Amino acid sequence: MNRYWSKQIEDLDPYVPGEQPRDQQYIKLNTNENPYPPSPSVADLLRNFEVARLRKYPDPESTDLVHAMAAYQGLNASQVFVGNGSDEVLAHAFQAFFRQDYPILFPDISYSFYPVYCKLYQIEYQQPALDAQFCINIRDYASTNGGIIIPNPNAPTGIALESGALRELLADNPESVVIIDEAYVDFGAESACPLIAEFPNLLVVQTFSKSRSMAGLRLGAAFGQENLIAALQRVKNSFNSYPVNILTSACALASLADEDYFQQCREQVIASRERLSIELQQLGFEVFPSSSNFVLVRHHRAAAAKLYDDLRSAGILVRHFKKARINNCLRISIGSDRECDALISALHKILA
């Protein structure tokens, strides 16, 4: 027992994010960042920002941002919650909804922060296994449970749920909150947001980190019926009343106002992914079908751990999870075409 610590702290199993090297010498394809900068309107905003505004606290309700996001999604403001990155939003959601009498469910291969939250909030969980092709079988989520969280598309597989599966999942679990974690949805999956009006048990979580190129800004959001949003507000206002700072709100509003740029970046990443997937297949990789800004790949003979090391030595960071079932896979973020070319060229040499 560590002196001074609360009992539970020693048992925590903190999340380890992908490396963020502090120098610029790596091609970073390891943390699913967008290769393109945020909208030029964000640059304009910062250049002209009236710095004296920082002396005041933010609006604790983030009213302007919440209204803009509601309008963007076709929801009411009372159906929108914002936080300091989707990680914070998810943390609050685990606390607000998942401390129940039954274990919650999420896939055995999924975002590795979920079990970390469970430890933090002392939540039991079970992990139905993905099938051999790393797909989620919705029927595995029909047992009595304290809640469900599923990323769509899933990470680190990149695979999206089949059409119709979401509705089935929600209808099968009317007494459970079902969180759909849509961190990567803008790269090709179908959002659950249109189902919010119909399902009081649906919470959708999104982020500005990926498709809006602002991982450094830390903005996440949740969408759901008012009753769920109210619970998140109660937790937030018991933790930190002002989670979203003034600059983050302003930058996010600027980004939301530039739909053309958003669509262009999205489409460019998708196009690069399709090209990269073909080139990786030509190099002997199995490429799981991705709806994300990354691909999960497995080489037919080269070991993933070795490939990871060799790529690192060649100045390219990818992600290798030392985890059952995927420990021979690599997760590769979609970079710019120049970065993808550098990856392919490095792999050519490594595999030669």
Helix (H) or strand (E) holding 298: strand 294-299
Report the nearest approach of a copy of itself to the CB of residue 268 (Å).
13
Report the nearest approach of a copy of itself to the CB of residue 242 (Å).
6
Binding status of residue 314 toward a copy of itself by CB under 8 A: no
Helix (H) or strand (E) holding 169: helix 165-172
221 three-state secondary structure: strand
Window contacting a copy of itself (CB under 8 A); options: 65-73, 92-100, 129-137, 340-348: 92-100
Report the nearest approach of a copy of itself to the CB of residue 41 (Å).
10
Beta bridge partners of 125: 104
CA–CA distance, 133 with 123 (Å, rounded to integer): 29
Binding status of residue 300 toward a copy of itself by CB under 8 A: no
Binding status of residue 59 toward a copy of itself by CB under 8 A: yes
Closest CA to 300 of 280, 273, 320, 317: 280
Binding status of residue 20 toward a copy of itself by CB under 8 A: yes
CA–CA distance, 192 with 205 (Å, rounded to integer): 10
Residue choice 137, 143, 144, 237 for contact with a copy of itself (CB under 8 A): 237
Residues 23-42 that bind a copy of itself (CB under 8 A): 28, 31, 33-38, 42
One-letter amino acid of 94: F
Find out whether 315 and 21 touch, Cβ atoms under 8 Å.
no
Residues 332-351 that bind a copy of itself (CB under 8 A): none
Report the nearest approach of a copy of itself to the CB of residue 148 (Å).
12
CA–CA distance, 37 with 170 (Å, rounded to integer): 36
Find out whether 338 and 24 touch, Cβ atoms under 8 Å.
no
Tell me, residue by residue from 241 to 280, as one string, x for binding to a copy of itself by CB under 8 A and - for no binding: xxx-xxxx--x-----------------------------
Window contacting a copy of itself (CB under 8 A); options: 94-102, 126-134, 310-318, 338-346: 94-102
Find out whether 290 and 273 touch, Cβ atoms under 8 Å.
yes
Residue choice 65, 68, 69, 98 for contact with a copy of itself (CB under 8 A): 98
Round the CA-based radius of gyration of the chain to a whole number and report it: 20
Report the nearest approach of a copy of itself to the CB of residue 285 (Å).
26
Beta bridge partners of 110: none
Window contacting a copy of itself (CB under 8 A); options: 74-82, 114-122, 190-198, 296-304: 114-122
Please report, for residues 128, 155, 187, the alpha-carbon distance to residue 140 in angstroms, rounded to integers and kept in the order given. Answer: 6, 18, 26
Residues 155-194 that bind a copy of itself (CB under 8 A): 177
Binding status of residue 292 toward a copy of itself by CB under 8 A: no
Residues 216-235 that bind a copy of itself (CB under 8 A): 216-218, 227-228, 231, 233-235
Binding status of residue 112 toward a copy of itself by CB under 8 A: no
CA–CA distance, 290 with 153 (Å, rounded to integer): 8
Binding status of residue 53 toward a copy of itself by CB under 8 A: yes
| Number of neighbours of residue 309 by Cβ within 10 angstroms | 13
